Amino acid sequence: MRVCKKCIQPDTRPKVYFNEYGICGACLWEEEKKKIDWGSREKELHDIAKWAKKNTKSNYDCIIGVSGGKDSTFQAITARNKLGLRCLLVNAEPDGITELGKQNIENLKNLGFDVISLRPNPKIMKKMMRRDFYKYLNPQKITEYALYSSAYIIADQFDIPLIIQGENGALTLGVTLTGLGTDGNALRVNQSNTLGTGWKEYLEDDEIEERDLFMYHYDRKSLEKKEYKAIWIQYYLKEWSFFHNAEFALKYGFKGHSKDFDLTAIGTFVPYAQIDSDLTQVSQMLKNIKFGFGHANDHACYAIRDGRMSRGEALKIVKKYDGKCADMYIKKLCNHLEIPIEEFWNVAEKFRGNMWGKNSDGEWQNTYWDYVNN
């Protein structure tokens, strides 16, 4: 097992790329960014916007999938104010949506956008979340299908020629082995780690029909035949980053957790993560059990690459926060999936990665960090 020599991303992330010098794909992207002609990239983005305005058959030039969070706020404001696009926003409401999540999506609406809100049948969703918990230890896997696909479906149905997505995981996370590609084409989002197994696997459940899954997949061939475009806006904008987008969104009314909120409860050190749903923090804890890293690691890596944190500081942060999750969130997920908490932990332990070992107190400890230098 390896940890990136520049940041602290481990190679247990599915389909992540490491070069022969032990540098992860995400850090390689940060180096590549220094060589890019960003003026040329931004001109290309403006050309795409002009193309969309010229070719739309709708009242809208583009469509953006939004949660109300920092990234979607940045995308929507940039598309409208900087690119001059008439935007339709699509919000796929997550299960376990928080009051803060509701406030943020309402704030985005009130900034002056038309918004379509969608929520797939919660009974069907729950069945698939249970299945994904037992099969992948990832109860939020299926929710990602609806989150991503909704914008593509509406674009196809409403004849909107441009879909704007945020960041390409092949670049930001370094998962270049997924087939996502490292360019600006976001029509390939169905090849991401989460969506790559395909929506048809859920038809293995006799109680789920293909008609139940309309909101969980998009017709990529239809969009390609119409010559519609889907872009990762990150690819075209130098300023895009986790922390920049948060600072930008806060100026437009986006809200994170309050100053007195206990961030150890959600397993990260930043107050503007895991705000849309009360189920996300449990999924991040389970990711940590399975792969040895959670959200604190992800966010610390972003901070290292942005020059906001040293590697030594990041290691301390990860040891303090990563994999933490308050009991109330675990109970909420168990209640939602209708499983006893004992069953939850029995299943979780079956997936525990081999980077874990018991310390002298009999507690699980991630042995990764015993071998990582500052």
Burial of 374: CB neighbours in 10 Å, binned 0-12, 13-18, 19+ = exposed
Identify the CATH homologous superfamily for domain 37-357. HUPs (3.40.50.620)
Let me know how long the chain is: 374
Average pLDDT, the chain: 94
Torsion sign across C-alpha atoms 43, 47, 48, 52: positive
Does residue 34 register a pLDDT over 70? Answer: yes
pLDDT band at 371 (very low <50, low <70, confident <90, very high): confident
- Per-domain residue ranges of the chain: 37-357
CA–CA dist 156, 228 (Å, integer): 9
What pLDDT is stored for residue 10 in this prediction?
95
What's the pLDDT band for 367 if we cut at 50, 70, 90?
confident
Q: Which residues are within 8 A (CB) of 327 and not within 5 positions of it... i.e. 6 or more apart?
A: none
Gap between the Cα atoms of 306 and 40, Å rounded: 22
Measure the CA–CA gap between 322 and 307, rounded to whole angstroms: 20
In three-state secondary structure terms, 123 is helix
CA distance 352 to 359: 15
Beta bridge partners of 3: 10
Residue 374 pLDDT greater than 70, yes or no: no
Q: What is the pLDDT of residue 372?
A: 78
pLDDT in tens, 17-27: 999 999 999 99
Per-residue HEC secondary structure of 58-120 comes to CCCCEEEECCCCHHHHHHHHHHHHHCCCCEEEEEECCCCECHHHHHHHHHHHHCCCEEEEECC
pTM for the predicted model, two decimal places: 0.94
Does 293 score more than 80 pLDDT? yes
3-state helix, strand, coil in the chain (%, to 5): 50, 10, 40
Tell me what the mean pLDDT of segment 126-138 comes to: 96
Q: What is the mean pLDDT of residues 342-371?
A: 91
pLDDT band (50, 70, 90) for residue 95: confident
Contacts of 227 (CB under 8 A, 6+ apart): 161
Rounded CA separation 306/233 (Å):
18
